Structure 1
Amino acid sequence: MPTTRRTTGSLRAAVLVTGVVALTVTTVPPAAASWPEVIVLPGATSAEGIAAGAGDTFYAGDLFAGDVFRGDLEAGTAELFIDAPEGRWAVGMDADLRHGLLYVAGGGTGQAYVYDLHSGETVAEYQFAPPSPAPPAAFTTLVNDVVVTPAGAWFTDSRRAVLYHVPIDASGRPGPFRTLPLHGPAADTAGEINLNGIDAARHGGTLVVAHSTNGELYTVDPATGDSAVVAGVSVPSVDGIELHRDSLWAVQNTNRVSEVRLSPDLASGSVVEVVTSDLFQTPATAIRHEGRLAVVNAKFDTGIPPTASQYEVVLVHD
């Protein structure tokens, strides 16, 4: 059975064996005392995506304003980095540190953006699909998340059975995009929010995607679009995912992050631990940094668009 770890506001952790009465208290490493618990995104009107930068740096987006914040996980600070043009969104994002670029999914605009990590200037803009009506109307397209691989950036669309691919040349320049039709279970668009988080294994040779409505993970062949279910994994309301070797962290809008242990062939997996926190409020995405998860509170429980007065990144043990 998976274990459940709950983090309180003072970063004390407990491990609860699901369905069993026994409770075991774990010890927080001494260094954790200096960690910030919450990093506020100053002035943000919404939030969703996060990307790891160099060192302790992270980037997080203002979902419906399109702005991007740059912060420091150790210092516990963040500031506005990119004041996006009106009409842009900032959903999932990933940083290409080799070439100093940030790739950002544009949500209901049907777009994606590439920003220079040094200047914040727009390097490229893509129109993958026609834009959706403004929320809370139903989405017709929702470019939701992105992962950068050595060959290029892959974007999901939560309303379409496709992936969008932006190639990256040897100099790091993004090229014209192409659309990859999906086959198999990842092509299911019966739900309101379908494909969502995405990450890559085997240096981009296999993609792993999360399906929010089905609560499942799938592998995708980036050459053919063929997909297969990762058997044995149930992660209801899954949003963003973070993959590291054989471990995958699935952020769920139900105020939890499930750690999944994957088989070497990626054909199956199991939930081995569930991380919760009284600081979570509809978490959407996360990155992993030195034994911690930096988790973005999207606060969709306040509405779409959300109406909270503050948006933040919550730091918990992974």
Structure 2
Amino acid sequence: MRRSRLLPAVVALGLLVPAGAAQAGTHPFPDRIALPAGFQPEGIAIGPGPVAYLGSRVDGRIYRADLRTGRGGVFSAGPGTPSLGLKTGDGLLYVAGGSGGDARVIDQRSGKVLKRYVLSTAPAFVNDVVLTRDAAWVTDSTNKVLYRLPRGVHGKARTLPLTGEIAYQTGVNANGIAQTPDRRSLLIVQSNTGTLFKVDPKSGHTTTVDLGGESLPNGDGMLLNGDTLFVVQNRLNVVAVLKVARDGSKARVVERVGDAKFDVPATVARYKDRLYLPNARFTTTPTPDTPYDAVSIRR
């Protein structure tokens, strides 16, 4: 039902692969998706099906692309403030609003903003989002809190202060967010310290995850697949691959994966055996003509 609900919009954009396209000499699932010049991507979400959504940190536009062809277009106009972390679920796209201090819920079919939550009227950097069974949890890299949004478009947002071992410092603090493998707690990575924390979603209490002496500096977007956690270390141009205990109390870095196509990737999403990462190019001075893309690697 959810997949068929999206189909008309995808057809309307011309994103579906024509019958026999592979036989006609095209290359399905290209490893590079070109984005509009000056787009400045950061967040990515995939699904249902081989459809990716990418947000602009310039003006909040959302670009939708068919992973089979690499073709796409802007399907939701931005509010003039950033769109950072993204997640999809129930036919909806959840968007972290960066310096706009908000979060938005967008209809995946029409691109219409169905709900906007004002999370902070003070300076904020609403950065990334993860979906749990009944909530969307959002990080703030400036304020020592998480935000809990109800799934769907009804209800109110709640602010959860972070206590315990995490200490905010100058720079980017809590960034990427994921669940623990047992789904009972949350994991957040603190970019400026490289520390991974476990968070109790009821109390906000944080404890340091034992990484066996490792750290995750420049940790950005995260993705959990079973007991494997992928952590993008943006300016290091690598993805750290960790094995995580079911309760999230400890984790082990198994390897770090780089690729020649990486140019400061920020976040990560998965489709089948591929990881997709938008190149944020934080070390490149942006102009309206600066090229941007998202790339894929096989895992």
When normalised by structure 2's length, the TM-score is 0.85
Alignment deviations for residues 261-287 of structure 1 (CA, whole Å, 9 cap, x no partner): 112231111111111111111110011
Is the 8 Å Cα contact of residues 69 and 79 (structure 1) preserved in structure 2?
Answer: yes
1:287 pairs with one of 266, 269, 272: 269
Q: What are the Cα deviations for residues 212-260 of structure 1, in whole angstroms up to 9, with x where unaligned?
A: 0111211111101011111114111111000111100000111111111
1:80 corresponds in structure 2 to 74
Partner Cα separation in structure 2 for residue 271 and residue 191 of structure 1: 26
User: What pairs with 1:237-276 in structure 2 (closer than 5 Å)?
Assistant: 237-253=218-234, 254-276=236-258
1:92 aligns with 2:85: yes
The superposition leaves residues 98-128 of structure 1 with CA deviations (integer Å, 9 ceiling, x where unpaired) of 2x11110010111111101111111111111
- In structure 2, the partner of 1:184 is 164
User: How many residues are treated as equivalent by the alignment?
Assistant: 270
Counterpart for residue 165 of structure 1: 148
Partner of 1:15: none
Q: Percent identity over the alignment?
A: 38
Match of 1:222 among 193, 196, 201: 201
The 5 Å alignment of 1:38-57 reads: 38-57=32-51
Q: Which amino acid aligns with 2:130?
A: V
Contact (CA 8 Å) 1:94, 1:104: kept in 2 or not? yes
Per-residue deviation, 1:210: 1.0
Deviations 1:61-91 (A, max 9, x none): 1112100011122222221111123x22100
Aligned equivalent of 1:126: 117
Matched, 1:309 2:290: yes
| CA deviation after TM superposition for structure 1 residue 173, in Å | 2.9
The structure 1 segments of at least 4 consecutive aligned residues displaced by more than 2 Å after TM superposition are 42-45, 201-205, 305-308
How many angstroms apart in 2 are the aligned matches of 1:271 and 1:72?
32
The question of 1:144 aligning with 2:127 is answered yes
Which of the residues 190, 206, 209 maps onto 1:211?
Answer: 190
Contact 1:260 1:269 in 2 (8 A): yes
Gap change, CA 1:287 and 1:306, over 3 Å in 2: farther
**Contact 1:260/1:273 (8 A) holds in 2:** yes
Q: Cα gap change, 1:81/1:44 in structure 2, threshold over 3 Å: closer, same or farther? A: farther
Unaligned runs of 5+ in 2: 1-26
Contact kept, 8 Å, 2:38 with 2:288, in 1: the verdict is: no
CA distance in 2, matches of 1:281, 1:290: 23
Amino acid at match of 1:210: V
Q: Is the Cα contact below 8 Å between 1:196 and 1:209 reproduced in 2?
A: yes
Q: Offset at 1:192?
A: 0.7
Q: State how far apart, in whole Å, the 1-side matches of 2:245 and 2:201 are.
A: 20
Contact 2:181/2:244, CA 8 A, preserved across alignment: no
Q: Which amino acid aligns with 2:138?
A: F
> 1:103-114 residue pairs with structure 2 within 5 A?
103-114=94-105
Unaligned runs of 5+ in 1: 1-32, 132-139
Q: CA deviation at 1:174?
A: 3.5
TM-score in terms of structure 1 length: 0.81
